[in-house]
Amino acid sequence: MARMTYCSRGPLISTEGLNGVGKTYLTNRAVEALAVKPLMLDEFSQRANGRLGLGEALLRALREASGGDPFLRGGTPMAEALILMAIKRHDLDTVLTDLARGQVVVEGRSVDTTAVCQALLLHPDDPEAALQTAIDLLDLASSYRPLPDLTILVTDDTSKAVERAQRRDRRELTSEQVDFMRDAGALFEQLAATDPVRYRVVDRRVVDEYAAVEQIRTWINDAGSDLACLVEPWQRSDAVCMCCGQLTPVEAS
């Protein structure tokens, strides 16, 4: 199903990558020098318990059911996947008016994390099946909400990311959690390679902090042109854009 009507909205950008890889640090540094600051949508760990709203209530339910597991694992990966997708849909709903007025929005993690983590839980010992399932989960997520226009994946050695996360959180990760992160890191990179149009990868193993910040700043700066209207992906007939209200017809493909 093809739809292509250009829109005056702002771009929706996500940052992805392992815990402690530096998504927040590098993105904050990158936007410091931008004249017009993007709206930053908090990562999950920044959302204090007690905040009101459906998204927070769903996240609280996942936290409780997973008994404090850093990856929100409660033993029912598909049910958790659907709740995580609902949270990310709720996140989009909360920024639609900002996108509509042309604001750049950066979400800390999006449905790619859901696809990677839940695919690994469904296929812990089968990397090929995990990649196919991550692709399929992303496809499912994209029927809940449009995918980001641009996804910035930050990569590094897992050991470096683990070290930073442990230092920041003053908490040791178990060897099982570190193994999960290693598998997630590999799967993030494989998933990114399947969609070079949406993904930009910044690899901290080959670029220093300053170059990484500069790359991210340029990508955010350049993300705002030629954006298509945002329509409900589940809507099969002609639909109006969620941002500008323009009618966007379904074209024969």
Ligand X SMILES: Nc1ncnc2c1ncn2[C@@H]1O[C@H](COP(=O)(O)OP(=O)(O)OP(=O)(O)O)[C@@H](O)[C@H]1O
Ligand Y SMILES: Cc1cn([C@H]2C[C@H](O)[C@@H](COP(=O)(O)O)O2)c(=O)[nH]c1=O
Give the residues lining the site for ligand X (CB under 6 A). Answer: 17, 19-25, 43, 45, 164-165, 168, 209
CB nearer to ligand Y: pick between 70 and 102: 70
Residues near 49 by beta carbon (within 8 Å), at least 6 away in sequence:
56, 60, 63
Q: Report the SS3 class of residue 12.
A: strand
Query: Of these partners, ligand X, ligand Y, none, which one is at the site of residue 190 (CB under 5 to 8 Å by kind)?
Result: none
71 binds ligand Y (CB under 6 A): yes
Using CB under 6 A, pick the residue from 70, 74, 102, 127 that binds ligand Y: 70
Query: Of these partners, ligand Y, ligand X, none, which one is at the site of residue 55 (CB under 5 to 8 Å by kind)?
Result: none
Helices (H) and strands (E) in the chain, counts: 8, 7
CB nearer to ligand Y: pick between 91 and 98: 91
Positions 101 through 140 that interact with ligand Y (CB under 6 A) = 108-109, 113-114, 117
Contact 31, 125 (CB under 8 A): no
CB nearer to ligand Y: pick between 74 and 102: 74
Residue type, 90: H
Query: At its nearest, how many Å lie between ligand X and the CB of residue 168?
Result: 4
Residues 87 and 110: their CA atoms lie apart, in Å, by 10
Query: Of these partners, ligand X, ligand Y, none, which one is at the site of residue 84 (CB under 5 to 8 Å by kind)?
Result: ligand Y
Query: At its nearest, how many Å lie between ligand X and the CB of residue 169?
Result: 8
Tokens of 110: 């999006």
Contacts with ligand Y, 76-105, as mask; x by CB under 6 A: --------x---------------------
Residues 251 and 253: their CA atoms lie apart, in Å, by 6
Query: At its nearest, how many Å lie between ligand Y and the CB of residue 235?
Result: 24
Q: How far is CA 216 from CA 63, 86, 91, 151, 154, in A?
A: 31, 28, 22, 10, 10
Query: Of these partners, ligand Y, ligand X, none, which one is at the site of residue 59 (CB under 5 to 8 Å by kind)?
Result: none
Letter string b/e over residues 205-225, b meaning 16 or more CB atoms within 10 A of that residue's CB: eeeeeeebbbbbbebbeebbe
Quick one: which H or E segment has residue 10? none
CB atoms within 10 A of CB 26: 22
Query: At its nearest, how many Å lie between ligand X and the CB of residue 80?
Result: 18
Contacts with ligand Y, 17-56, as mask; x by CB under 6 A: --x-----------------------xxx-----------
Please give the biggest Cα pair distance in the chain. 55
Residue ranges binding ligand Y (CB under 6 A): 19, 43-45, 70-72, 84, 108-109, 113-114, 117
